[in-house]
Amino acid sequence: MVSPAEQVTATLEVLRRVFGYDAFRGFQREVIDHVVAGGDALVLMPTGGGKSLCYQIPALVRDGVAVVISPLIALMQDQVDALTAVGVRAGFLNSTLDPDTRRLVEAEFVAGEIDLLYLAPEALASRATLSLLDRGRISLFAIDEAHCVSQWGHDFRPDYLNLSMLHERWPGVPRIALTATATSATRSEIATRLSLTAARHFVASFDRPNIQYRIVPKREPRKQLLALLRDEHPGDSGIVYCLSRASVEKTADFLVANGIDALPYHAGLDAGTRAANQQRFLRADGVVMVATIAFGMGIDKPDVRFVAHLDLPKSVEGYYQETGRAGRDGLPSTAWLAYGLQDVVQQRKMIDTSEGDLAHRRNLAAHLDAMLALCETVRCRRAQLLEYFGEPATGGCGNCDTCLEPPESWDGTVAAQKLLSTVFRLDRERNQRFGAGHCIDILLGRATDKITQHRHDSLTVFGIGDDLSEAEWRGVVRQLLAEGLLAVEGDYGTLALTDASGEVLGRRRTVMLRREAARPAKAAKPRGA
Ligand code: ADP
Ligand code: ZN
């Protein structure tokens, strides 16, 4: 037995000698001491915070082999290679191994010749794996990306639900669960589903001060993106997220045609191309990865200088995790999102037509609403983000778009009434489909073919909105949708009134709106650049 004092020296020794670092970061030391002493832990740290050492050092200090559950089969080889490079004995078992290598790793595990064994969660459903684990000596279980157990989350992995059995089968072995996704709701879901009820929680600050958050009105998204890359990030590595595979392809082609070293990544590409593109992104300098959210989990590239979203993320959790891939090295980085009316229409529609029961759709809608609130806020984006994750925020951060160029807000009550009255008039033509564009044409008094055909130029609302520009009207529609004062219905994005619309039409509610920038906001230089 080692005494507590000896253990403390041992952990610091390992940090310096094996990993070559001088000091622990944040509460790494507290987590490590707790797990080394045999306690369970739930660790929440932002991406890049240094979660791996929290289980790797206990794995080296405690007797036996640490079993690491990781959903990232494609990255197991990299993780093991990185450990081997610093002289740590580690192995992995997954479906990609040939039988000989598998037998070798199994023998090493049983003989205690490795200190860490990486496993995919689905492996634990097999009797063969369980009996293998019984034959070795396990020092601890580490459950990486623990938010994958959350059924509401976007990374849900059914096999994670099975992991509560680790505790039943090996009650004496300490467990450490780690994640970068962390509302208090997700945290308690993880604790419950993994039977980590007695675990100590270690929650780091989620602030990433070196990331500059910016959310801009979407106009010509690809051109706006190109301007961002050319003006602020020439030659930098970055990630561009798109919603669909088709738009990933188009955007990558567009960037390449404009001289940017861009590559596509999505689940529709064959495994070989995906692996090759990922390797180029990781190893070469200045590659821009255009991807769906299938890309990124577990990617450890310190110098990603920007993360751009061309489509609205479905939740603040997803947005935060994706943007968190920027600037792991602590240097100034940009999180940029282009967001427009069509995003709201499309996502509301996706929720309406999604499978699953009412509770599930309500949950999706609540997540979307929080994301919309972040987009439309006139407050500091960082303060709003931190509060969402349960951290009190003090004042403005000085490094987000609303702090750098405070948006004006204006009293949009009359504009909202004009728009809602128009929707009300059109609503009476039950069998017709009129989206936002048509309503705006009516307000602006444009005699388009569709308007003359339906005689909408004879409506009393025709032309009553010519005091605002088309872009401003789109902003009004978008913000009313975001606030639930307006709804979209059906496949054509038909605008419809909600219960709350009545409060505005009946003058019982004022509507404050964010002023749309007349021209694209001038790019603010990141701090320290
Ligand atoms: P996470 O899994 O939380 O996203 P990692 O464990 O991959 O983060 O660590 C992020 C980076 O920080 C890695 O390059 C890692 O080597 C480095 N790192 C971790 N702990 C320390 C430390 N105490 N001192 C210096 N660098 C560290
Ligand atoms: Zn701010």
pLDDT in tens, 461-492: 999 999 999 989 988 998 898 888 888 877 66
Query: Residue 388 and residue 370: Cα distance in Å, rounded?
Result: 8
Q: Which helix (H) or strand (E) holds 221?
A: helix 221-232
**Does the C-beta of 50 come closer than 6 Å to ligand 1?**
yes
The complex scores an ipTM of 0.97
pLDDT score for 374: 94
The CA 257 to ligand 2 mean position distance, Å, reads: 35
Q: Which atom of ligand 1 is nearest to the CA of 52?
A: 6
Nearest to 222 by CA among 245, 244, 253: 253
**Does the C-beta of 47 come closer than 6 Å to ligand 1?**
yes
Nearest CA to ligand 1 atom 27: 50
pLDDT band at 527 (very low <50, low <70, confident <90, very high): very low
**Does the C-beta of 325 come closer than 6 Å to ligand 1?**
no
Query: Residue 139 and residue 18: Cα distance in Å, rounded?
Result: 19
Retrieve residue 426's tokens. Answer: 């059109």
Mean pLDDT within 175-202: 89
Nearest to 333 by CA among 322, 345, 324: 324
**Does the C-beta of 300 come closer than 6 Å to ligand 1?**
yes
The CA 478 to ligand 1 mean position distance, Å, reads: 40
**Does the C-beta of 52 come closer than 6 Å to ligand 1?**
yes
Angle at 479 between CA 477 and CA 482, to 5 degrees: 110
**Does the C-beta of 24 come closer than 6 Å to ligand 1?**
yes
Average pLDDT of the residues of the chain: 90
**Does the C-beta of 25 come closer than 6 Å to ligand 1?**
yes
The CA 204 to ligand 1 mean position distance, Å, reads: 14
pLDDT band at 517 (very low <50, low <70, confident <90, very high): low
Place of tokens 């623990």: 146
CA atoms within 13 A on the CB side of 166: 32
pLDDT band at 457 (very low <50, low <70, confident <90, very high): very high
Query: Is the pLDDT confidence value at 183 over 90?
Result: no
pLDDT band at 100 (very low <50, low <70, confident <90, very high): very high
Mean pLDDT within 508-518: 82
Q: For residue 400, what is the DSSP state?
A: B
Which of 61-75, 259-273, 421-435 is predicted with the least confidence, judged by mean pLDDT?
Answer: 421-435
Testing ligand 1's pocket by substitution, the residue of 19, 28, 29, 55 carrying the most ligand atoms inside 8 A of its CB is: 19
Query: Residue 307 and residue 301: Cα distance in Å, rounded?
Result: 12
Query: Residue 509 and residue 494: Cα distance in Å, rounded?
Result: 24
Which of 220-224, 373-377, 439-443 is predicted with the least confidence, judged by mean pLDDT?
Answer: 373-377
Query: Residue 16 and residue 107: Cα distance in Å, rounded?
Result: 30
Listed in sequence order, the residues at least 6 apart from 521 whose beta carbon sits closer than 8 Å to its beta carbon are: 214, 216, 401, 405
Testing ligand 1's pocket by substitution, the residue of 206, 300, 303 carrying the most ligand atoms inside 8 A of its CB is: 300
Which of 123-137, 152-166, 449-463 is predicted with the least confidence, judged by mean pLDDT?
Answer: 152-166
Nearest to 321 by CA among 120, 150, 155: 155
Query: Residue 454 and residue 457: Cα distance in Å, rounded?
Result: 8
Nearest to 377 by CA among 350, 337, 414, 318: 337
Ligand nearest to the CA of 146: 1
Mean pLDDT within 57-84: 92
Kindly list the distances between the CA atom of residue 437 and the CA atoms of 311, 401, 444, 487, 494, in Å, as whole numbers in the listed order: 20, 28, 11, 14, 10
pLDDT band at 186 (very low <50, low <70, confident <90, very high): confident
Nearest CA to ligand 1 atom 5: 50
**Does the C-beta of 327 come closer than 6 Å to ligand 1?**
no
pTM as predicted: 0.76
Most confident of 146-160, 201-215, 233-247, 414-428: 233-247
Strand ranges for 196-274 from DSSP E = 200-203, 211-217, 237-241, 262-265
pLDDT band at 150 (very low <50, low <70, confident <90, very high): confident
Nearest CA to ligand 1 atom 17: 50
Nearest to 337 by CA among 440, 446, 232, 224: 224
pLDDT band at 339 (very low <50, low <70, confident <90, very high): very high
The residues that bridge with 514 in the sheet, in sequence order, are 409
pLDDT score for 2: 57
The CA 28 to ligand 1 mean position distance, Å, reads: 10
The CA 408 to ligand 2 mean position distance, Å, reads: 15
Which has more confidence, 441 or 522?
A: 441
pLDDT score for 471: 87
User: How deeply is 342 buried, as exposed, middle or buried, from its count of CB atoms within 10 A (0-12, 13-18, 19+)?
Assistant: middle
Q: Which atom of ligand 1 is nearest to the CA of 49?
A: 3
The residues that bridge with 141 in the sheet, in sequence order, are 67, 175
Which of 126-130, 208-212, 289-293, 354-358 is predicted with the least confidence, judged by mean pLDDT?
Answer: 354-358
Nearest CA to ligand 1 atom 23: 24
pLDDT band at 431 (very low <50, low <70, confident <90, very high): low
The CA 58 to ligand 1 mean position distance, Å, reads: 15
Query: Is the pLDDT confidence value at 520 over 60?
Result: no
Query: Is the pLDDT confidence value at 426 over 60?
Result: yes
The CA 523 to ligand 2 mean position distance, Å, reads: 15
Mean pLDDT within 179-199: 87
Listed in sequence order, the residues at least 6 apart from 93 whose beta carbon sits closer than 8 Å to its beta carbon are: 102, 105, 106, 117, 118, 119, 120, 123, 129
Nearest CA to ligand 1 atom 2: 51
Q: Which atom of ligand 1 is nearest to the CA of 24?
A: 23
Ligand nearest to the CA of 213: 2
**Does the C-beta of 53 come closer than 6 Å to ligand 1?**
yes
Ligand nearest to the CA of 383: 2
The CA 125 to ligand 1 mean position distance, Å, reads: 31
Angle at 333 between CA 288 and CA 277, to 5 degrees: 20
Q: Is beta strand 116-119 parallel, antiparallel or unpaired with respect to 65-69?
A: parallel
Retrieve residue 214's tokens. Answer: 């910016």
pLDDT score for 310: 98
Query: Which amino acid appears at position 294 of this protein?
Result: A
Query: Residue 299 and residue 79: Cα distance in Å, rounded?
Result: 10
Give yes or no for a contact between 73 and 96, defined as CB atoms under 8 angstroms apart. Answer: yes
Query: Is the pLDDT confidence value at 362 over 90?
Result: no
Task: Count the Cβ atoms, other than its own, within 10 Å of residue 110.
Answer: 15
